[in-house]
Amino acid sequence: MSFSLKVKEELASVLPQARHCRLAELASLIGISGHIYTTDAGRHYIRIHSENRFAVSKCHTIIKKVFGYVSDVTVRYNTETQNRIYIMSVMDSDIAIKILLATRLMGPDGSINRDMSLVSTVGISNICCKRAFLRGAFLAGGSISDPEKSYHFEIVSSGERKAEQITDAVRTFELDARIVERRRYHVVYIKEGAQIVDMLNIMGAHKSLMELENVRVVKEVRNSVNRKVNCETANLGKTIGAAVKYIEDIEYIRDKIGLDSLSEELEETAELRVKYPDMPLKELGEMLSPPVGKSGVNHRLRKISRIAEELRGR
């Protein structure tokens, strides 16, 4: 089971106690996965098609508990995709209208937005209702990437206004949700790992949150170790390169004019550097007479290199 499906399975088991929160969650479930059919006689029907059994099951449960109505649920098999299609239907027009009015998917005048967005956001004005609304939206149209590979959270919506309502709800919690158009859909997404953790907490997916946090901690430690190793390797490479260069310069001076042409302190430093090519500068300085510090040894070696460069220039 993918991480995204694990999150949905966990969210499907989260049922709000308050009626208004249940309606907020139902509003986003129907708004994203549902279709409203109206006959010439003015009768309304609600139908939800989804490959996600958790979304359909949640709709069925909320409608039963809030309205006392047992919706029809059937399963079909898509021969092209080889996936099951779960269908939930509310065929009682009076119940369908009650549901649509209660969830604010229908206005008091019977109007329904073309993209199935809320006609009023009064039903999701409370923080608890916003949590439920986002939980339903993710169950119906959301996905989250495998945290081992990348951090990406999204909810796909068929309409711009609907996407804006989802984004506004997310931003209430000070998260940086954005909208991008993808073909004929509007996608609300979050890319930052810590904010995705917050989003799981908001929706109530606490077990999935812990799993994601564990992955994030391991990845951060691994990246930190890699950065440190790379930095130390780079510094070691520079140190070795500098040591080789100094020895080349010393040998060049020795072959051209002899080390005895150098001052006494430079000659002693050059001879020790050639004799002990792998010795750290600090230890090399302690062997000099009189001893000098690391910076003093480095200063002398740079002088020797300048002399070698002058000789090469001639």
* Per-residue model confidence as pLDDT tens digits over 9-32: 999 999 999 999 999 999 999 999
Task: Check whether 59 has a pLDDT greater than 90.
Answer: yes
Query: According to DSSP H, which parts of 142-205 are helical?
Result: 160-171, 193-203
Residue with tokens 């080390």: 259
3 state SS of 187: strand
27 lies in which domain range? 3-204
pLDDT at site 24: 96
Task: Check whether 205 has a pLDDT greater than 70.
Answer: yes
What is the pTM (predicted TM-score) of this model? Answer: 0.71
Name the more confident of 242 and 173: 173
Question: Do 26 and 164 fall within a single domain?
Answer: yes
Is position 213 within any domain? no
Question: Do 165 and 224 fall within a single domain?
Answer: no
Question: Do 11 and 71 fall within a single domain?
Answer: yes
pLDDT range class, residue 49, cuts 50, 70, 90:
confident
Domain end, chosen from 204, 238, 259, is at 204
Domain end, chosen from 172, 204, 236, is at 204
Is position 210 within any domain? no
Task: Check whether 235 has a pLDDT greater than 80.
Answer: no
Residue with tokens 């109505």: 69
Cβ-based neighbours of 281, under 8 Å, separated by 6 or more: 294, 297, 298, 301
Positive or negative, the CA dihedral 32, 123, 170, 118 is positive
- Tokens standing for 297? 């040894």
Domain end, chosen from 149, 170, 204, is at 204
Question: Do 155 and 286 fall within a single domain?
Answer: no
Check: CB of residue 153 under 8 Å from CB of residue 132: no
Question: Do 134 and 195 fall within a single domain?
Answer: yes
Task: Check whether 229 has a pLDDT greater than 80.
Answer: no
Mean pLDDT of 307-312: 84
Q: Of all helices (H) and strands (E), which one includes residue 263?
A: none
pLDDT at site 87: 92
- Domain with residue 142: its CATH number is 3.10.28.10
Question: Do 58 and 122 fall within a single domain?
Answer: yes
Positive or negative, the CA dihedral 160, 165, 169, 171 is positive
Positive or negative, the CA dihedral 65, 67, 68, 74 is negative
pLDDT tens across 79-93, in order?
Answer: 777 788 899 999 999
Beta-sheet strand order (sheet of 34-38): 34-38, 44-50, 83-90, 72-78
Is position 191 within any domain? yes
Task: Check whether 177 has a pLDDT greater than 70.
Answer: yes
Q: For the chain, give the percent of residues with pLDDT over 90.
A: 49
Interatomic CA distance for residues 100 and 90, integer angstroms? 11
Is position 215 within any domain? no
Question: Do 44 and 160 fall within a single domain?
Answer: yes
Task: Name the least confident of 74-88, 122-136, 137-151, 160-174.
Answer: 74-88
pLDDT at site 99: 95
Task: Check whether 67 has a pLDDT greater than 90.
Answer: yes
Interatomic CA distance for residues 231 and 223, integer angstroms? 12
Give the total number of structural domains in the chain.
2
Task: Check whether 219 has a pLDDT greater than 80.
Answer: no
Cβ-based neighbours of 115, under 8 Å, separated by 6 or more: 157, 158, 159, 160, 161, 162
pLDDT range class, residue 179, cuts 50, 70, 90:
very high
pLDDT range class, residue 224, cuts 50, 70, 90:
confident
Task: Check whether 277 has a pLDDT greater than 90.
Answer: no
Mean pLDDT of 286-291: 87
Is position 183 within any domain? yes
Task: Check whether 172 has a pLDDT greater than 90.
Answer: yes
The one-letter code for the residue type at 76 is R
Query: Distances in Å between the alpha carbon of 57 and those of 92, 106, 270?
Result: 19, 23, 81
Check: CB of residue 36 under 8 Å from CB of residue 45: yes
Task: Check whether 232 has a pLDDT greater than 80.
Answer: no
Interatomic CA distance for residues 105 and 125, integer angstroms? 15
pLDDT at site 203: 95
Question: Do 139 and 265 fall within a single domain?
Answer: no
pLDDT at site 239: 64
Please give the DSSP secondary-structure letter assigned to residue 277: T
Question: Do 64 and 137 fall within a single domain?
Answer: yes
Burial 96-117 (b: 16+ CB within 10 A, else e): bbbbbebbbbbeeeeeebeebb
Mean pLDDT rounded to a whole number for the chain: 88
Task: Check whether 243 has a pLDDT greater than 80.
Answer: no
Sort 83 into a burial class: Cβ within 10 Å, 0-12 / 13-18 / 19+. exposed
pLDDT at site 186: 94
Q: For the chain, give the percent of residues with pLDDT over 70.
A: 96
Interatomic CA distance for residues 308 and 198, integer angstroms? 62
Question: Do 145 and 106 fall within a single domain?
Answer: yes
pLDDT range class, residue 108, cuts 50, 70, 90:
very high
